[in-house]
Amino acid sequence: MKMRYSLSIMLALSGIASADLQRFEVNNPSEVPLKSAIVQLDVSQFDFKAEEYIVKDSSGNELVTQLDGTNLLFQSDFKALEAVKFEITSGKSKADHGDRSTFARLVPERADDFAWENDYIAFRTYGPALRESNEDSGIDAWLKRVNYPIIDKWYKLHLEEKVSYHKDHGEGHDPYHVGKSRGTGGTAIVVGNDYLTSNTFTRSEVECNGPLRSRFTLFYEYDYKGGKVEEAKTITIDLGQHVFHSSSMFTQDGKPIDLTAAVGITTHDGKGQVSNDTSWMSVWESIKGAGPLGVGVVFSENPEFDTVKVAARDESHIWGKLNTGADGKFDCYIGFGWVKANTFKDKADWENYLASFRAQLEKPLEVKVLR
């Protein structure tokens, strides 16, 4: 199963002639305009090495950058079918990302939650301290309507000052019910007609945190066919997007296992309106105290969909199922659009976003070195 990152491109450079200067062109081959697209370059392939890099657009404006290992990230808008020129030099950038940033961390002070966010969306899931509770491996949506980080602030207010994050005090809130459900995109292993879910994550590892990208891995365990299966779920959240990338590796005895995995969205006991196309699925509903909300999952490949409605609380979902193949991998893009945040106006607007995002996966950015 192939894994691809939306709106980003790995660039292998060779034979760069100019010292400490590289010009290149980034082309959007899609007929879909891209807003706040992340471009990703492998600096290990540059002829010049530097501790810090400056990226300028064609007007000479310095752009916010982030180093993610050997990858240099920056962000730009692209019109449909547009090619844009940039240049890289060594040095400290003067660009300021302002209040907008990605963020992710373990929250031990709130029973081992793990929370993550960018400028549009925020989420949390549940950790070891809650293994005996009603929550397990579902994902909770935090509905924010400000572009600055709120995770630390909301937890502090909730825990220390008794200002509940379940009520909207002007920045948003958490009105979304998860319980034993998959929430906004928890995973499962398919066994016949059943969906086998795991308990809370057992451990977490943060790999990067920065203005443009945060990435971390959560580890889960399943009792599967008389043995133990581990899921290592790596989540990457980029600035400016309404979805995050979820990439799971399923292993048994340390080796990848071939199985059918699924991602689910709760329909809140059948109250939500379920939609799907060949490569995305969505649940649109009105959340008490919050109003209209769309939750969606976009796939790189076309999954098999299954809508399950049962009487038991928290067990009604729409599922997207894919075989992991011999490499044990399962990936998708998960997100939400909240009408009150003034980005999406209705169900059709949200579903158009999901379809457009899928189109971008088909035609990722192309990079050409300019000599």
The pLDDT, as a whole number, for residue 19 is: 61
The pLDDT, as a whole number, for residue 17 is: 40
Q: How far apart are CA 360 and CA 284, in angstroms?
A: 23
The stretch 151-157 carries a mean pLDDT of 98
The answer on pLDDT for 101 being more than 80 is yes
The answer on pLDDT for 118 being more than 50 is yes
Q: Which residues contact 134 (CB under 8 A, 6 or more apart)?
A: 179, 180
- State the residue for tokens 């200002």: 163
Residue-wise pLDDT for 342-355, tens only, equals 999 999 999 999 99
Pick the closest to residue 320 from 267, 280, 273, 272 (CA basis): 280
The stretch 216-231 carries a mean pLDDT of 97
DSSP 189-248: EEETTEEE---S-SEEEEEEE-SSEEEEEEEEEEEETTEEEEEEEEEEEETT-SEEEEEE
The answer on pLDDT for 1 being more than 80 is no
For residue 159, the 8-state DSSP code is: H
Weakest mean pLDDT among 5-14, 37-46, 138-147, 266-275: 5-14
Distances (CA, A) of 75 to 9, 95, 146, 188, 205: 12, 12, 20, 33, 25
Backbone angles phi, psi at 293, to 5 degrees: -145, 135
For residue 351, the 8-state DSSP code is: H
The stretch 309-316 carries a mean pLDDT of 95
Structural tokens at position 208? 């990067």
Residue-wise pLDDT for 237-288, tens only, equals 999 999 999 999 999 999 999 999 999 999 999 999 999 999 999 999 999 9
What is the side-by-side strand order in the sheet with 65-68?
A: 34-42, 71-78, 65-68
The stretch 340-369 carries a mean pLDDT of 95
For residue 183, the 8-state DSSP code is: B
Domains of the chain: 21-95+363-370 (2.60.40.1180), 103-360 (2.70.98)
Strands 83-90 and 21-27: antiparallel
Handedness of CA 80, 81, 82, 88 (dihedral sign): positive
The stretch 295-322 carries a mean pLDDT of 97
The pLDDT, as a whole number, for residue 5 is: 38
- Provide, rounded to the nearest whole percent, the portion of the chain with pLDDT above 70: 95
The answer on pLDDT for 66 being more than 70 is yes
The answer on pLDDT for 15 being more than 50 is no
